[in-house]
Amino acid sequence: MKTTKNIMIVGVGGQGTLLTSRILGGITIHAGFDVKLSEVHGMAQRGGSVVTFVRYGEKVAEPIVEEGQADVLIAFERLEAYRYAHYLKKDGVLILNDQRIDPMPVVIGAAVYPENIIEMLQSRHKVIAVDAMSIAKELGNARTFNIVVLGVAAQHMDFSKEDWLEVIEKLVPPKTVEINKKAFVTGFELQKINA
Amino acid sequence: MSDKVIMLGNEAIARGAYEAGVKVSAAYPGTPSTEISENIVKYKEIYSEWSPNEKVAMEVAIGASISGVRALASMKHVGVNVAADPLYTVSYIGANGGLVLAAADDPGLYSSQNEQDTRAVARAAKVPVLEPSDSEEAKEFTKFAFDLSEQYDTPVIVRVTTRLSHSQGMVELCERTEREDRPYVKNIAKNVMMPGNAVKRHLHVEDREKRMAVDGCSMAVNKVEYNDRKIGVITAGIPYQYVKEAMPDVSVLKLGLVNPLPKNLIMEFAENVETLYIVEELDPIIEEQVRAWGIKAIGKEILTIQGEYSANLLRTAILRQELEIEQAAAAPMRPPILCPGCPHRSTFHVLSKLKIHAAGDIGCYTLGAVAPLSVIDTTICMGASISSLHGIEKAKGKEFIKDWVAVIGDSTFMHTGINSLINAVYNQGTGTILILDNSTTGMTGHQDHAATGKTLMGETVPAIDLEMLCKSIGIKNVVSVGAFNTEKLEQVIKEEVAKDELSVVIVKAPCVLLDKKAITSQYKINTDICTKCGMCMKPGCPAITRRSDKSVVINDTMCNGCGLCAQICKFGAIQKSDK
């Protein structure tokens, strides 16, 4: 792989973007790539808009993904997808967890949560929207919704299901290995059926 | 055997310290530096501690160095200000065992109150600075910093920025080199900085600066990469990566040692390229020196002093490329907020109800400044709430602060708030101070401190009792109250602000994120009773939202069961349920 692949994860602080990016980092190393990940810690994590960049390839220089460069944009929340969609490449794909979390300006009535975000995004980008929260709840643990989303996104990356599962097993807390694997496979298969 | 792993920049600094044979590490948590100590503690060969503040941490490391072992202090950029006093003088004392300060700047202010450049402090203190540009270098430069420290008899700063501290990259692990302690020899000429000694040590400092500027020209950390010579770039740290990304074909002088600058190497590079650019985030530290030597260079006239750089910024500013970038959507902002179940929300709700002004401080509770709580009037630096309230009182009189309090967290109080409180006792302040005691250092991700009863290394120790501490310095009015007991809290605050005496109210409730397993109940809205009045939404809990049909709902994946909303609801529509 000559060119560097650019993945972005966006969401709301507390949604578990860090675990997802760690698994992403893990799989790229597992496959023998050079990789750089960039995260947000500290204040922004307190319910703010958070972004994680993952870049992998033969040799990676900068640790961030810039506007117009993302191959895959994984969004855990609708408004955050909307906010960062311009980071996508022309032929990039947006994996969207169809969830709405009102930011404080919306809660207090100082701003309006945009309607029809998915339709607006679909007019410009390839969008795959999933209700991962409901799927994860059905599987028995709502908190694994991010791994369901990762499973969907994995169809747009260069690694086998077996490799993903191996990395998940290594990186999630031991007690949650089975539920996380189940969540991943569900997301992974879901995409296949829809494709 | 070498082993490659992925590491955060901060984790790599910790690994570098470990491999360098460090024996003592001290720090106060502060984004983006915190993970250095959180990773140091994993190495059992190193004694590591959270000190109450950065000055203390620096002094602990200095003591260890004087005794003959390698020592590390780590802190964020504004922490370097707190540690400036010992730093400026240890520059004269130098090092016995290697002494390194890891300082993390925050261009773009992800989690800080200013955007200062540690290199400016280092220049003023005449302390050498190494600046790595990825995780591997973070580790290797840290090791090299200890060598330099011992070789040149100096403290050395390893300067990183948020982007490096919080980026992960590949690192090749090496073994730890155990080193014999250097012998401790009493040497007052070197270690007792009274004028007669210091004046001689100053000669050492000036001589050291000159020698390192010469020796730096042949150090491997300063690297010349000649390519197309039409454009030459001098850069360091993370901006080097942006240069490589945007302009892989230009010539680059990558500086590892950024203070003192390797003058001859820079002059030679400048002569060998047509147009010279200097790419450095924040202040024009390299640029101003290079220009002072009579070298023509382009820098801050086309590149900003503020925020982070990027490859696109360089493509536009230097290569004059027109980038085809889609415009960002006009999406409502999502600023950080207090978590659902945060005890500070309850306190601020009461303050807001009483229309009380608050002199604020540094911590999660700074978020009480934003709507809808809008309680905090001022935020300056660690510990400033109590002393600035005192200043307001001395300027405007005690009646002026009858509707004011100071709010400060437990960790910040132990950091430097205690000094300000002693001042208020001594100089007869009459203000009311709220210590928001959530049993942790919250914003930086839950670090212990002197009042929690646990050390960084996990030992259980006697916790400093805040109530007893305040009483012991002579404060008569010290009251403890639970943060979620809003009725009592309201009554206590009213009583204490009315007094013509200094008062401390310790508002207690652990940070809700400390032990999420302890959360056994949540709250639900009974739609049969709810009048949709929206009172429960006033404190701005992110778990409570209004649907398009005006009904109010509590999000069950977010509710942390604090019950503040249920206390506020006059209709009893918010009811407790099992989680």
Domain ranges of chain B: 3-218, 223-317, 343-508, 519-578
Give the C-alpha separation, B84 to B66, whole Å: 18
Question: What confidence score (pLDDT) does residue B275 get?
Answer: 98
Judge: domain B343-508, CATH 3.40.50.620. Answer: no
B108 touches chain A (CB under 8 A): no
CA B58, B61, B67 angle in degrees (round to 5)?
Answer: 140
Tell me the ipTM for this assembly. Answer: 0.93
Judge: domain B519-578, CATH 3.30.365.10. Answer: no
Q: What is the CATH number of domain B223-317?
A: 3.40.50.920
A47 touches chain B (CB under 8 A): yes
Q: Could you tell me the residue range of the domain that residue A185 belongs to?
A: 5-194
Helix (H), strand (E), coil (C) string for B336-367? CCCCCCCHHHHHHHHHHHCCCEEECCCCHHHH
Interface of A with B in 70-99 (CB under 8 A): 79-80, 82-83, 85-86
pLDDT band of residue A14 (cuts 50, 70, 90) is confident
A-chain residues near B167 (CB < 8 A): 36-39, 63
Contact between chains at A62 and B311 (C-beta distance less than 8 A)? yes
Query: For the segment A27-74, what is each residue's pLDDT rounded down to a tens digit?
Result: 999 999 999 999 887 666 788 999 999 999 999 999 999 999 999 999
Of B324, B337, B445, the CB nearest to A104: B337
Contact between chains at B444 and A42 (C-beta distance less than 8 A)? yes
CA B218, B222, B224 angle in degrees (round to 5)?
Answer: 95
Give the C-alpha separation, B263 to B276, whole Å: 15
The owner of tokens 């190495």 is B43
Give chain A's domain count. Answer: 1
Of A46, A86, A108, the CB nearest to B326: A86
Contact between chains at B312 and A103 (C-beta distance less than 8 A)? no
pLDDT band of residue A191 (cuts 50, 70, 90) is low
Residue A192 has pLDDT above 60, yes or no: no
Of B31, B169, B542, the CB nearest to A63: B169
Contact between chains at A102 and B326 (C-beta distance less than 8 A)? no
Contact between chains at B339 and A68 (C-beta distance less than 8 A)? no
Residue A114 has pLDDT above 50, yes or no: yes
Amino acid of residue B473: I
Of B332, B335, B545, the CB nearest to A48: B335
Q: Is B543 helix (H, G, I), strand (E, B) or coil?
A: coil
Q: Which fold has domain B3-218?
A: Rossmann fold (3.40.50)
Question: What confidence score (pLDDT) does residue B2 get?
Answer: 56
Question: What confidence score (pLDDT) does residue A1 get?
Answer: 63
The token duo for B28 is 């106060």
Q: What is the pTM of this model?
A: 0.96
Query: For the segment A134-184, what is each residue's pLDDT rounded down to a tens digit?
Result: 999 999 998 899 999 999 999 999 899 999 999 999 999 999 999 999 999
Give the C-alpha separation, B509 to B207, whole Å: 55
A151 touches chain B (CB under 8 A): no
B220 touches chain A (CB under 8 A): no
Identical topology for domains B223-317 and B343-508: yes
A-chain residues near B339 (CB < 8 A): 14, 46-47
Contact between chains at B324 and A39 (C-beta distance less than 8 A)? no
Contact between chains at A105 and B333 (C-beta distance less than 8 A)? yes
| Orientation of helix A145-154 relative to helix A177-194, angle to 10° | 40
A-chain residues near B331 (CB < 8 A): 79, 82-83, 114
CA distance A108 to chain B (A): 7
Q: Which residue of A has its CA nearest to B312?
A: A66
B-chain residues near A114 (CB < 8 A): 329, 331-332
Residue A194 has pLDDT above 60, yes or no: no
Give the CATH number of the domain where residue A123 resides: 3.40.920.10
The token duo for B126 is 């005449």
pLDDT band of residue A195 (cuts 50, 70, 90) is very low
Low-confidence ranges of chain B (pLDDT < 50): 1
Contact between chains at B34 and A41 (C-beta distance less than 8 A)? yes
Question: What confidence score (pLDDT) does residue A47 get?
Answer: 85
